[in-house]
């Protein structure tokens, strides 16, 4: 064969019809005579058209793969794709430049509105147990003067006299392929097919106006920072009074003076003197459920954690609640009066701790390091 049609389109011999069509459209956009009038490019364009005519037709492709000349057997003769057979693929060339015909026609003035989002602050207890809040939103609503039509009262939209309601205008030009008809949106009506000679004075023909309104939002128990609550149909009304989008309420949880939230668990730190850690005590703590006493057992060490089960945040999905974790920090006195020092030295003597040797362990972490590792999931 004098011409390798697969090489002309740049595809493999086992390429699918979709791959062949994509290759042809890509080359057609690059080599079309209207884009590149160079004579050599026109010859190249003839080659890819002939190659596509053969490879896109199963019967011609079979003849070609068997070593025959499919173009000499076609109805248009061997003209390389611009005879009767070549124009069978004209729609593919037009699709490569202008898209399909199904995309044409008048556009509707009525379109769906955009989604909107508002951010609200909630306290920790509101996030833990849920609440309701009144919020003010400023969105587009249907214009009550024209009811979304966009025309002044007593008037209406009229058929565009330029495109006669089609929303597009056509133009015939001469090219290397002969007469080619192209279509584009009508410049007078912007593709709507109708014009509004007397726009509504309230909305300037848009069919919607800005308005501030109050909504009541139910915040479920267990929400966290970044949680978004969807309110269907409470967003922006679309142009022409179209259906509204949705409103998304994003939660921002305010910091709490005592508790730090990690998922559905709450964490806090209580500082006690070393005598209380040694002897044990009870420390009052104001939890989300009210006042409770934290039991510090005798011999509690600095860095120990005391869990209060079910005193955390409600699980957003499913029942139950997280825990409240109390971290203990033992405070060592930095100043002692003479009597206190005497008593401590006497205690150290009784316990045999006058000259302690200490116990060293590799990699021992302090309280803050352990808290940091726990927070990072180590």
> Would you list which residues are annotated within the binding site for Zn(2+)?
143, 146, 160, 163, 186, 189, 200, 203
- Between CA 290 and CA 298, with CA 292 as vertex, the angle to 5 degrees is 165
CB atoms within 10 A of CB 156: 13
Determine the Cα–Cα distance for residues 355 and 353; give it in Å rounded to an integer. 5
Q: Tell me the angle at which helices 90-98 and 17-31 cross, rounded to the nearest 10 degrees.
A: 70
HSE at residue 73, side-chain half, CA atoms within 13 A, is 12
Residue 218 host element (H or E): strand 208-219
What is each CA distance from 343 to 223, 339, 358, in whole angstroms?
A: 53, 6, 22
**Could you write out the three-class secondary structure of 176-214?**
CCEEEEEEEECCCCCCCCEECCCECCCCCCCCEEEEEEE
Instruction: Tell me the three state secondary structure of residue 322.
Output: coil
Please report, in range form, the residues annotated as the binding site. Answer: 143, 146, 160, 163, 186, 189, 200, 203
Determine the Cα–Cα distance for residues 227 and 126; give it in Å rounded to an integer. 14
Determine the Cα–Cα distance for residues 208 and 140; give it in Å rounded to an integer. 6
Q: Tell me the angle at which helices 58-65 and 39-55 cross, rounded to the nearest 10 degrees.
A: 100
The 10 Å CB-count burial string (b at 16+, else e) for 331-351 is eeeeeeeeeeeeeeeeeeeee
Record the tokens describing residue 309, joined without a space. Answer: 């089960």
Q: Which of 302, 297, 294 is nearest to 274 (CA)?
A: 302
Residue 349 host element (H or E): helix 338-350
Distance spanning both ends of the chain, measured CA to CA:
69
């Amino acid at each position: 064969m004098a011409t390798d049609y697969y090489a002309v389109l740049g595809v493999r011999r086992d390429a699918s019809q979709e791959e062949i069509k994509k290759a042809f459209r890509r080359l057609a956009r690059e080599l079309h005579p209207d884009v590149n009038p160079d004579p050599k490019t026109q010859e190249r364009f003839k080659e890819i058209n002939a190659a596509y005519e053969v490879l896109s037709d199963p019967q011609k492709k079979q003849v070609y793969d068997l070593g025959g000349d499919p173009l000499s057997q076609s109805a248009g003769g061997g003209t390389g794709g611009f005879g009767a057979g070549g124009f069978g693929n004209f729609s593919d060339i037009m699709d490569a430049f202008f898209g399909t015909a199904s995309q044409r026609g008048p556009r509707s003035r009525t379109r769906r509105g955009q989604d909107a989002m508002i951010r609200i602050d909630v306290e920790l207890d509101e996030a833990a147990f849920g609440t309701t809040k009144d919020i003010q939103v400023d969105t587009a609503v249907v214009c009550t003067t024209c009811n979304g039509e966009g025309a002044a009262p007593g008037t209406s939209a009229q058929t565009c006299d330029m495109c006669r309601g089609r929303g597009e205008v056509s133009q015939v030009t001469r090219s290397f392929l002969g007469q080619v008809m192209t279509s584009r949106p009508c410049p007078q009506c912007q593709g709507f097919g109708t014009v509004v000679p007397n726009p509504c004075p309230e909305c300037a023909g848009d069919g919607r106006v800005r308005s501030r309104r109050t909504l009541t939002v139910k915040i479920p128990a267990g929400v966290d920072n970044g949680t978004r609550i969807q309110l269907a149909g409470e967003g922006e009304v679309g142009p022409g009074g179209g259906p509204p989008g949705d409103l998304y309420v994003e939660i921002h949880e305010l910091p709490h003076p005592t508790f730090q939230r990690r998922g559905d668990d709450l964490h806090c730190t209580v500082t006690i003197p070393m005598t209380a850690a040694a002897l044990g005590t009870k420390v009052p703590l104001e939890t989300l459920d009210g006042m409770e006493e934290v039991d510090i057992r005798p011999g509690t060490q600095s860095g120990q954690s005391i869990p209060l089960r079910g005193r955390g945040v409600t699980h957003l999905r499913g029942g139950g609640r997280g825990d409240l974790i109390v971290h203990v920090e033992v405070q060592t006195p930095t100043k002692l009066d003479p009597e206190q020092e005497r008593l401590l030295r006497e205690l150290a003597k009784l316990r045999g701790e006058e000259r302690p040797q200490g116990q060293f362990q590799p990699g021992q972490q302090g309280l803050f390091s352990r808290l940091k590792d726990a927070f990072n999931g180590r």
